């Protein structure tokens, strides 16, 4: 994702994210962490990556029965702010304006003809691609 402006990019399936975060922040953590994946498994790492005085923003919906055991001692000792963000009327327009600043063509790592759909799905399953597109001639 470095091609679209990120300073760092990690594959969570083959790296110790906590170690990486602590290395790049010199043991501090991030001032702002935004969890927007909707994956329950992402909440705890996001919570743990927040620096002292930092903010965790939950900008996603989870399964109705998902509960997260909040470590209040960590919230207190880190002086952490936790903020939930829900959809607002102008969110879509703002998001579209922001997306227009990113060159997504650079994220396309493979291109297939529609007739090559089996190869395309195999390539996708490999986990080696950011974005795969079909070319329709």
Does residue 46 share a domain with residue 20?
A: yes
Average pLDDT over residues 37-59: 93
SS3 content of the chain, % helix, strand, coil (to 5): 40, 20, 40
Q: For a pLDDT cut of 70, what percent of the chain falls above it?
A: 97
Residue 120 belongs to domain spanning: 105-137
Is residue 63 domain-shared with residue 120, that is, in the same domain?
A: no
Q: Tell me: do 29 and 82 sit in the same domain.
A: yes
pLDDT at residue 6 in the model: 76
6 lies in the same domain as 62: yes
Q: Is the pLDDT of residue 90 over 60?
A: yes
Count of domains observed in the chain = 2
pTM of the model: 0.67
| Arithmetic mean of pLDDT, 74-97 | 86
């Amino acid at each position: 994702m470095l091609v679209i402006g990120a300073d760092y990019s990690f594959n969570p399936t083959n790296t110790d994210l906590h170690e990486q975060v602590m290395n790049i922040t010199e043991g501090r953590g991030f001032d702002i962490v935004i969890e927007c994946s909707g994956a329950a498994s992402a909440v705890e790492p996001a919570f743990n990556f927040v620096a002292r005085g930092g903010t965790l923003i939950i900008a996603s919906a989870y399964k109705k029965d998902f509960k997260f055991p909040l470590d209040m001692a960590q919230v207190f000792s880190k002086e952490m702010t936790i903020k939930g963000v829900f959809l607002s009327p102008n969110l879509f327009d703002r998001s579209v304006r922001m997306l227009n600043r990113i060159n997504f063509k650079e994220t396309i790592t493979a291109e297939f003809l529609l007739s090559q759909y089996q190869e395309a799905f195999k390539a996708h399953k490999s986990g080696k691609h950011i974005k795969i597109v079909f070319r329709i001639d």
